[in-house]
């Protein structure tokens, strides 16, 4: 029987996750673990590049761990762990820093954007973020990495560093590929359909949080921006209705033509209510399961402890090979 390819994915515990995050990534994880050897990390070290309230970071870390499980990740089948619990991530970052060039990091689009957004805290970690991400991936000899548009540049750097190291020191790292799943709907703001749905939206009616209860979800959809006219069709001149149709199709599995036919002749009010109900039906059970898991921190701690132990075994197998290749003496056990 052929071994499964290994897939690595990580999300930062930086607060609210939106419907867009769920549809774009989280909902796929349950299915991905069926077909791949899944390693899923809570990327808590990455969050430190932006100032964090320690109590909030701890809370968000538990919340994301519970959400991973509520979305279908089985800790018995997949490896689920905290990035900070496996020191090899930081150790490999130092080695990779020695073959990475400042120009490569200063050209990163996300570094430029975050530097503008956090002018009072342009730290070295913010620039070095992509090297830590490369370490996350390369430690586990990942074949595939699901990435959004904002992370493609970082994955390219990980590939470049893997090839550069392999060429200099001999075959060591698997060169990862981007995982391209089914095309995910691009989820836009409910308040301004010209912008991507974002947790940083100052207008709380613009995004659906995974923590929103059924009433809040329906209320936000009732307030969603629509367009002139009365047709419920997906067209370039109807961005509000097009966005709502995309969301409806994403949560129900219906095609765009099926959705348009279903709402033919219906009013905007009925349409928005139906979309809200469909979304609530999907995310409310996840919210409730996440909250149930959060009542049992001992269970979550146990999952993370076991996950870190499993991750360490894989990570240090790679790191020991790296140390040997670069000429560092192996520690005698």
- DSSP string of 63-104? HHHHHHHHTT--TTTSEEEEGGG-THHHHHHHHHHTT--HHH
114 catalytic per annotation: yes
- Measured CA angle at 129 (ends 324, 154), to 5 deg: 90
In whole angstroms, what separates CA 246 from the centre of its chain?
Answer: 20
Q: Is residue 189 part of a domain?
A: no
Residues 226 and 315 in one domain: no
Residues 30 and 164 in one domain: yes
Residues 258 and 303 in one domain: no
CA dihedral sign, ordered 156, 158, 161, 167: negative
Domain total in the chain: 2
Domain enclosing residue 216, as ranges: 204-291
Residues 280 and 305 in one domain: no
To 10 degrees, the CA torsion angle through 292, 296, 300, 305?
-170
Q: Is residue 224 part of a domain?
A: yes
Per-residue model confidence as pLDDT tens for the chain (333 residues): 357 899 999 999 988 889 988 988 888 888 888 889 999 999 999 999 888 899 999 999 999 999 999 999 999 999 999 999 999 999 999 999 999 998 888 887 776 666 666 667 778 888 899 999 999 999 999 999 987 766 788 899 999 999 999 999 999 999 999 887 665 567 899 999 999 888 877 888 999 999 999 999 999 999 999 988 889 999 989 999 999 999 999 999 999 999 999 999 999 999 999 999 999 999 999 999 999 999 999 999 999 999 999 999 999 999 999 999 999 998 776
Q: Which of 114, 220, 238, 272 is catalytic?
A: 114
CATH of the domain at 284: 1.10.240.10
- DSSP string of 184-203? PP-PBPSS-TTSB--TT-SS
Q: Which of 5, 196, 321, 325 is catalytic?
A: 196
CA distances from 214 to 23, 148, 192, 280 (A): 17, 28, 22, 5
CATH of the domain at 95: 3.40.50.620
Residues 50 and 115 in one domain: yes
Residues 40 and 162 in one domain: yes
Residues 150 and 285 in one domain: no
Q: Is residue 191 part of a domain?
A: no
Q: How many CA atoms lie within 13 A of 150 on its CB side?
A: 9
220 catalytic per annotation: no
Q: Is residue 245 part of a domain?
A: yes
Q: Is residue 257 part of a domain?
A: yes
Q: Which of 5, 152, 182, 199 is catalytic?
A: 199
182 catalytic per annotation: no
Residues 24 and 154 in one domain: yes
Residues 169 and 208 in one domain: no
- pLDDT the model gives residue 16: 81
Cβ atoms of 88 and 39 within 8 Å: the answer is: no
């Amino acid at each position: 029987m052929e071994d499964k390819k290994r897939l690595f994915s990580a999300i930062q515990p930086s607060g609210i996750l939106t419907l867009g995050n769920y549809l774009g990534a989280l909902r796929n994880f349950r299915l991905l673990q069926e077909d791949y050897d899944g390693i899923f990390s809570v990327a808590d070290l990455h969050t430190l590049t932006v100032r964090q309230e320690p109590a909030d970071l701890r809370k968000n870390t538990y919340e994301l761990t519970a959400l991973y499980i509520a979305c279908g990740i089985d800790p018995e089948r997949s490896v689920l762990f905290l990035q900070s619990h496996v020191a090899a991530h930081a150790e490999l970052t130092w080695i990779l820093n020695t073959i990475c060039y400042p120009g490569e990091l200063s050209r990163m689009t996300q570094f430029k954007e975050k530097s503008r957004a956090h002018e009072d805290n342009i730290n070295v970690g913010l620039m070095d973020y992509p090297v830590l991400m490369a370490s996350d991936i390369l430690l586990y000899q990942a074949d595939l990495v699901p990435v959004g548009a904002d992370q493609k540049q970082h994955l390219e750097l990980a590939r470049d560093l893997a090839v550069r190291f392999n060429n200099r020191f001999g075959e060591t790292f698997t060169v990862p590929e981007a995982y391209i799943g089914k095309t995910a709907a691009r989820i836009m703001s409910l308040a301004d359909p010209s912008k991507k749905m974002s947790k940083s939206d100052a207008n709380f009616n613009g995004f659906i949080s995974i923590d929103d209860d059924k009433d809040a979800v329906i209320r936000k959809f009732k307030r969603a921006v629509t367009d002139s006219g009365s047709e419920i069709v997906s067209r370039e001149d109807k961005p509000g209705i097009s966005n709502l149709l995309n969301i409806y199709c994403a949560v129900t599995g219906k095609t765009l033509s099926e959705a348009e036919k279903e709402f033919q002749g219906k009013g905007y009010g009925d349409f928005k209510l139906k979309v809200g109900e469909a979304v609530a039906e999907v995310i409310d059970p996840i919210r409730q399961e996440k909250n149930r898991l959060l009542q049992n921190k001992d269970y979550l701690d146990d999952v993370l402890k076991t996950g870190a132990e499993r991750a360490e075994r894989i990570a240090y197998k790679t790191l020991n090979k790296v140390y040997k290749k670069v000429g560092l003496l192996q520690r005698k056990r």
